[in-house]
A = this chain, B = another copy of it.
């Protein structure tokens, strides 16, 4: 059936909605919530195959929508407009895609065939699956898991759902499995590696379950949203960049899954492997260092679990042609003091300016991991990568490189740490007692930062003034929360009070 179009100027933020008159819907045999396939048409017929899948809403208001016309939300309207000139759209009823049978097989505990995975990924890429169907897949994988062969199939197909870049064998990258707050090391590692002369096209996803992803923090300095072509121009010039992976048709099917994982705050390990590797494969990365924070609050509560994951990741990466060094890192407390996009950007920039002022956890972790990449590249002999990384940092070359990257990505290269503004609603929390910080609860830190508005509000976040082993006097500031609204500040503070993130103790561990 053919319809005129009306662009409503409404947007869901993700799901594509087409609004129909109930009579038209009846004639097409669809109800609210059903899927239709929408083809832009011109005088000579269909102009865009295979069409765009959208979900049906009804208009019960004749003034808003008359029969013979469909209303388009921005998510589909923008795509249709791109195909102008068009003289309307054709709608056909779309049935549940075949890949849902494969999803059900995973829920039943079966191993998926290569064909199953091809279909699931294809339907993710074409956005044919409903959000609840994607949720069913994610939970099915979370509970029943994937075997290595399934993950390898997923990686290949997810990567091939978009463009695959090729920079030859010398393409480096770093990634973290997350879970430790304040892990802004990419903002230090990328300029170090780049300053050493290596290519490092760092793409990152935005925060999934954490308060800030690398893309969120980098965005404080510069634009991270680039098309593939624009990114290639930046890489041509600087041989480095820190980009959001979502805007460059890099494994778009992965983004569809990640969007639902984010809503559910569920990031199954097997899908994490396929997400990371599909993005790296699409970017042409050939050598990778993977930071695996281990400890309470991370995805790997014990070293044993981290190690098992590392061995599996390394092997799957090998099968798809990415040489990987996995590094288990300590996650007993945040890296540095700052958590939240702007606060992390500020802390990283301070370190690039004055490495000798620390924070030492950020300095050490960044140079450890950068050192491993330098050794993998043969820039430093085994065991001497960290020295070289530190040398590059102290020489000011990393800062210089970061400025060049910021400039290439459209930011202000001369930005100083004090130029970065943080949440205008803030509170300082002071200790009422004397003692020594004995433990930090990362989960609580993350929750406080998220309730304060992270990662949506870039200026929101926290500063952990006192870290493990630090002596505290009554009246000392131990914690700061920043938000962009009183509501969020209150919510974060309430959580702070009910889930205190700082555990105090004395130096005495045991009396006998």
Are A107's CB and B139's CB within 8 A? Answer: yes
Are B29's CB and A59's CB within 8 A? Answer: no
Q: Which residues of B contact A32 (CB under 8 A)?
A: 11-14
Min CB distance, A190 to chain B, in Å?
A: 28
Binary per-residue interface labels of chain A (406-419) against chain B in the complex, 1 for a CB within 8 Å, 0 otherwise: 00000000000000
Are A74's CB and B95's CB within 8 A? Answer: no
Binary per-residue interface labels of chain A (12-42) against chain B in the complex, 1 for a CB within 8 Å, 0 otherwise: 1110000100000001110111000000000
Q: Which residues of B contact A228 (CB under 8 A)?
A: none
Closest chain B residue, CB of each to CB of A92: B487
Are A60's CB and B29's CB within 8 A? Answer: no
Are B130's CB and A263's CB within 8 A? Answer: yes
Closest chain B residue, CB of each to CB of A143: B143
Please measure, in the bound complex, the distance between the C-alpha atom of A13 and the C-alpha atom of B453, giving whole angstroms: 31
Closest chain B residue, CB of each to CB of A260: B132
Q: Which residues of B contact A58 (CB under 8 A)?
A: 10-11, 13
Are A264's CB and B136's CB within 8 A? Answer: yes
Q: Which residues of B contact A140 (CB under 8 A)?
A: 139, 143
Please measure, in the bound complex, the distance between the C-alpha atom of A265 and the C-alpha atom of B96, giving whole angstroms: 10
Report the copy number of this chain in the oligomer.
2
Are B57's CB and A11's CB within 8 A? Answer: yes
Q: In the complex, which of the residues B9, B60, B266, B487 contacts A10, with contact meaning CB atoms closer than 8 Å?
A: B60
Are B264's CB and A8's CB within 8 A? Answer: no
Q: Which residues of B contact A265 (CB under 8 A)?
A: 96
Please measure, in the bound complex, the distance between the C-alpha atom of A60 and the C-alpha atom of B12, giving whole angstroms: 11
Closest chain B residue, CB of each to CB of A57: B12
Q: Which residues of B contact A8 (CB under 8 A)?
A: 61, 64
Closest chain B residue, CB of each to CB of A96: B265
Binary per-residue interface labels of chain A (125-146) against chain B in the complex, 1 for a CB within 8 Å, 0 otherwise: 0000011111110111011100
Q: Which residues of B contact A96 (CB under 8 A)?
A: 265
Please measure, in the bound complex, the distance between the C-alpha atom of A59 and the C-alpha atom of B74, giving whole angstroms: 9
Min CB distance, A274 to chain B, in Å?
A: 19
Are A10's CB and B64's CB within 8 A? Answer: yes
Are B29's CB and A457's CB within 8 A? Answer: yes
Please measure, in the bound complex, the distance between the C-alpha atom of A170 and the C-alpha atom of B29, giving whole angstroms: 43
Please measure, in the bound complex, the distance between the C-alpha atom of A92 and the C-alpha atom of B485, giving whole angstroms: 12
Q: In the complex, which of the residues B9, B133, B266, B491 contacts A264, with contact meaning CB atoms closer than 8 Å?
A: B133
Are A61's CB and B9's CB within 8 A? Answer: yes
Are B264's CB and A488's CB within 8 A? Answer: no
Min CB distance, A279 to chain B, in Å?
A: 23
Are A59's CB and B10's CB within 8 A? Answer: yes
Please measure, in the bound complex, the distance between the C-alpha atom of A96 and the C-alpha atom of B209, giving whole angstroms: 13
Q: Which residues of B contact A33 (CB under 8 A)?
A: 12-14, 263
Please measure, in the bound complex, the distance between the C-alpha atom of A242 and the C-alpha atom of B397, giving whole angstroms: 80
A93 at interface, CB cutoff 8 A: yes
- Shortest beta-carbon contacts, A-B, top 3: A9-B61, A13-B32, A132-B135
A-B contact pairs, 16 of them (CB 8 A): A9-B60, A9-B63, A10-B60, A10-B61, A11-B60, A12-B33, A29-B484, A29-B488, A109-B143, A132-B135, A132-B264, A135-B136, A136-B138, A136-B264, A139-B139, A139-B143
5 additional contacts, CB 8 Å, given A10-B59, A13-B31, A139-B139? A10-B19, A11-B57, A27-B485, A31-B456, A132-B134
